[in-house]
A = this chain, B = another copy of it.
Amino acid sequence: MTEPTEVVLGPTRYGKAEVRLVHVARSGAEHTIRDLNVSVALCGDQADTHLSGDNTKVLTTDAQKNAVYALAKRHGVDAIEDFAQLLARHFLTTCPYISHARVAVDEYAWDRIPGAQSRHSFVRSGREVRTALVHADAAGDSSVVSGLKDLVVLNSTGSEFHGFFHDEFTTLAETGDRILATAVDARWRHLAGAGERDWDKSYAQARASLLTAFADTHSLSLQQTLYAMARRLVGRDEQIAEVRLALPNRHHFAVDLAPFGLTNENEVFYAADRPYGLIEGTVARAGAPPDPAAWD
């Protein structure tokens, strides 16, 4: 079979995804754990392996996985932003055919078990996952995006929705009181040069900003709540350049109980799965230079 069409190999990347790492730091009987899911993606001169299967310039994804574990041993595991930067810089130095490294890390939170006598016993906490995304290249440029996902929040009142545009398919009733619920997916980009921050402290503050802005905003639309959350996050942390939020509107419909002679005063709701509204938005610090490649 012949395929005479002239085609061009474009951008590529390769790596090991979802390396599950649990790191235990021991300070006597007091243990601390970090529970991570690490994904590496590398770019460089990879035409040979694509075009002819010549792997001379390929760092195996197996070696990438080994590096995750070995560097965790050598340097320990601090904040995921630090660990991701450490890994990204490592890959840029270990193989001459790598010109760019992308490291994404998910972290699962654990609490100490309450009431336990031991200092080595933990219970998975919360539903959200903390995230970090680091890009670095051989020229020395780098970026750090922190985030969280699946932080599920709900206001049982304090949310209205009315005054919207009407087209031929608009039948939605206006409401002055509804449940507003969402699973927050938030990512925030740090200013260049923020590489040495106290990331854990910054994360805790960002999470608190998102939560309290969600709770404290009397909402006329989920769009308004999104902006309030983003604004608070950027406003409270001078090192944050930009935030991106994706908020699914987890619809809770008040059940019509009139057929049964009952009045539902916003007490009984059906929590729907699909479809759902999805509101996405970006808020940036005025004057902060953009960096679109940081988010990919």
Interface residues of chain A, those whose CB is within 8 Å of chain B, are 1, 3-26, 31, 33, 35, 39, 41, 46, 49-67, 69-70, 72-74, 94-95, 97, 110, 113-118, 120-127, 151-158, 161-172, 179, 208, 211-212, 214-216, 219-221, 223-224, 226-227, 230-232, 234-236, 238, 242, 248-249, 252, 255, 257, 259-260, 262, 264, 266-287
* Nearest CB of B to A260, in Å: 5
B97 near A165 with CB under 8 A, answer: yes
Q: With A and B bound together, what is the CA distance between A266 and B252 in angstroms?
A: 27
Evaluate whether A286 and B8 lie within 8 angstroms (CB atoms) in the complex, with A20-B275, A22-B271, A94-B168 already known.
yes
4 extra A-B contacts, CB within 8 A, seeds A58-B164, A122-B155, A124-B126: A10-B282, A21-B268, A23-B268, A33-B154
* Nearest CB of B to A281, in Å: 4
- What chain B residues lie within 8 Å of A125 (beta carbons)? 125-127
Evaluate whether A10 and B268 lie within 8 angstroms (CB atoms) in the complex, with A24-B156, A53-B219 already known.
no
- Choose from B21, B55, B124, B282 the contact partner of A269 (Cβ within 8 Å): B21
Evaluate whether A267 and B25 lie within 8 angstroms (CB atoms) in the complex, with A12-B223, A169-B70, A282-B12 already known.
yes
